[in-house]
Each structure stands twice: as C-alpha cells, then as structure tokens.
Amino acid sequence: MKGEDRRGIKAVEVAGHILDHLARAQAPVALRELAAAGHMSPGKIHRYLASFLVTGLARQDPDTRQYALGPLAMKLGLAALNSYQPLRDAIALQRELRDRIDETLVLSVWGAQGPTIVHIEESSQPIIMTMRIGAVLPILATATGLAFASFLPRHFSEPLIRTELEAVGGLNLFARDPAAIDRLITEVRDQGYAYNEGHLMQGVSAAAFPLFDRTATLVGVLAVMGRQERVNPRDGAQMIACLKKETRNFSH
C-alpha cells in the first residue's frame, strides 16, 4: 500500500547481520570477532548469541567456546533452497538417474563455506561414506569440489583453494601447487566432469557433473559415488557418458 510504514525491528536487523557473519565465516567464530565485525560490545553480542543457542540458530563448540550456525539455520537454508525451482528440477533429475543406474548420487550447491551437500539419493547397495546433508566438501580432495573450482568463476573458489593449500596435513589433495591445479581445472573443463579415485575414502570413486540453468549459471554439481571397480572412466564408461549427457541437457 502507498504510504505503508516500512519501519522494521532494529533487533531483528542486528540479528540478521550477526547471522550473516556466521554464514560467511569458514570456521567457528570467537565472540570478540563477532563483536568487532558488528561494531558492538561483546556483552551485546553475547545476548544475541544466547538467544541463537536457545532457538538453534547457532551452536557453540564446548571446547573452544566459538560459535557457528546451528541446526535451525540449516533447516531454514534448506527450506529456502527447496523453494528454488532449478534445485527442485535438479533433485528430480537426481532421483530419475538413481533409479536408472542404481548408484548413489549426491547433489551439492555452492554455499557460504564452499560446496555443500543438499540432497542424497542412495543406491540399492549403499556405500559406506561419511557424507551427509549439510556437509561442506573440500575443493581439492573431492570430485564435487574440483567441479565447482572448474565451472564457477575463479574468485569464488580461490580463497578456499588457498586455505586448503596452506593447511598442515589432513587432506589428501589432488595437487599442491597453482600450476598443477590450473592443469586439473583445464582437464575437467575439457572432459566436462571431475573424477576422484579414493582421495576422500579408500575404495570409493566419484564423478561430478555441473548443472547449468538456462542463463548458463551453475545451479549445482551432481556426483555419482560408488565402489571403485564400478565407478571409473573405464569400466563405467557407459554410465559416465549417460550422466554427462543428461546433466548437459539439464537446462532444457
């Protein structure tokens, strides 16, 4: 209505800014860091965080006392994603392909912390894996991460690539120098998908395919995961060709 009062509630706006900072952070955040980012006193931030903990919008690490987004924030994010038509179309394709090839398919989108799993369709013979909805996948140790690095504009993935390269131990990365990473990205773009053989889980392979909408925007990445002897470019050539074709036709 013309002349409608559009004034909001200041406390809700402040809460939104705090949650936005938690969403952008790539790791749990200390109270003082949140206070500095929001230009507020630690005491004021603490009152908001206390309410976030009660509602599930945030969680606190019992050892470090640092804060991250909580289960309610995850539910809200997934609900928002599920209202996005291209994502619903991607899930429909995911289910159709699972029924056709009977392999586990994992759908991920680009989130505030990188590649984030939003839907899993398991095969009739589920593989042992630690992946779950909401999990954030490494860029340089998963087929899905490498697909995002290859098909997203580089400025999205570059900070995460640097973080993984600087990390001490831990991940079994595909490559550890910029030149090798650039060669991998070029290879993935040329072949149209990323492949990972046992880097994240021994005996489990994955091939990840980009999903573009009609505007050539990357909606997500669909990965097939299975036992190494089944999911590979040699023995699984027919399946990979099928997935490559169907994901390329996604926008149509």
pLDDT at 25 over 80: no
Nearest C-alpha neighbor of 134 from the set 160, 150, 116: 116
**pLDDT higher for 8 or 12?**
12
- Of residues 197 and 77, more confidently modeled: 197
Residue extent(s) of CATH 3.30.450.40 domains in the chain: 84-248
Reported as a single tens digit per residue, the pLDDT across 218-229 is 999 999 998 888
Which one has a higher pLDDT value, 77 or 105? Answer: 105
Please name the residue that has the structure tokens 């072949």. Answer: 191
Domain 10-72 has CATH 1.10.1060.10: no
Sorting pLDDT into bands at 50, 70 and 90, what band is 129? low
What CA dihedral angle connects 63, 64, 67 and 73, to 10 degrees? -40
| Amino acid letter, residue 58 | A
Asked whether 129 and 201 are in contact (CB, 8 A), the reply is yes
Query: 7-46: string of b/e by CB count within 10 Å (b at 16+)?
Result: eeeeeeeebeebbebbeebeebbebeebbebbebeeeebe
User: What is the reported pLDDT for 134?
Assistant: 82
| Alpha carbon 6 to chain centroid, angstroms | 35
Residue 245 CA to residue 17 CA, distance in Å, equals 42
Residue 2 has pLDDT above 60, yes or no: no
Mean pLDDT, residues 49-65 taken together: 92
Whether the predicted pLDDT of 7 surpasses 70: no
Listed in order, the ranges of the chain carrying CATH 1.10.10.10 are 10-72
171 and 164 Cβ atoms separated by less than 8 Å? yes
d(CA 107, CA 175): 24
Higher pLDDT, 7 or 94: 94
| pTM as predicted | 0.75
**Mean per-residue pLDDT for 131-154?**
91
Of 13-22, 179-188, 210-219, minimum mean pLDDT range = 13-22
Strands (E), the chain: 58-60, 67-69, 104-111, 114-121, 194-197, 204-212, 218-227
pLDDT for res 1: 43
Does 59 score more than 80 pLDDT?
Answer: yes
CATH level 2 (architecture), domain 84-248? 2-Layer Sandwich (3.30)
